[in-house]
Each structure stands twice: as structure tokens, then as C-alpha cells.
Amino acid sequence: MTLHLGKATPLPQSPEEAVLDYVPNPRPGRNYLVRFVAPEFTSLCPVTAQPDFAHLVIDYVPGETIVESKSLKLFLGSFRNHAAFHEDCTVGIGARLVAEMSPVWLRIGGYWYPRGGIPIDVFWQTGAPPAEVWVPEQGVPSYRGRG
């Protein structure tokens, strides 16, 4: 039973308040890749409280459960007023999914837009992906500005 699917659900006020829903893997015993892309992720700078923007790519090979996409969207949206450094947001999202969902493998790429003229990209994964799983490139180019 999911808390969010098919129901009007307000945006959680913080990542800690957000509840992620997980449902049974519809293809247990098979290794396959699931990709979520959040091209308009936002959080706040913990020093200046100015908004930070990122393009997130989350790839995972499910174990016994998969994350329900509406709950993931609400969880990611809850960072809108959350103050944290890029590294904390990116790795924290991946670590929470791993802790709660126990995937076979997970990686997250956080492609952050420049802050102070320097783009910061953050990558984290749980280890090597299963050998038989096709893991495409994340396809997000490094920030080039106007050039």
C-alpha cells in the first residue's frame, strides 16, 4: 500500500519529513536498470541561502523493491527549502535510497550548475554494477557556459 500514489499529497517541508514509498519488484530475480532523471532539482546554499540548481541522474538495479516515482518526486522536491552543500544533497539522496530500498546497485550523478563561477559535479555509487546489466552513460555533459 502506498501513501502517495493516487492521492493528493502536499510537498514535504524537509527531506527528513518526506516518506518514500516502495513496492515489490515486478521482476524479482532479474537484474535490470532503472533510471530517474531530475533535470530541475533545487536546494539552498547553507551559507547564503541562495538557490542551487542541479540535474540529477539516479540509476539502480532493484533488489526486492522499487521506489515509487511520485514519492521520489516529493522527496526530491522537499530539498527546495533545504540548506545543504552539493555533496551532502547528492550523496544523501543516494544513501537514503540504499538504506531503505536495499538495491543490488545504485549510482547517483549530481550535475550542479555553477556557484561562484565553478560548477560542482558529485558522483556516488555502491560499488561495481552487476556484470550482466547494461549501464548507459548518464548523458549529462560537463557545464560549458556559453562556450
What are the residue numbers of the active site? Answer: 45, 52
Q: Is residue 45 a contact partner of residue 112, using CB atoms and an 8 Å limit? A: no
Burial of 79 (0-12, 13-18, 19+ CB in 10 A): buried
Say how far apart CA 125 and CA 105 lie, in whole Å.
8
Q: Are 42 and 80 in contact (CB under 8 A)?
A: yes
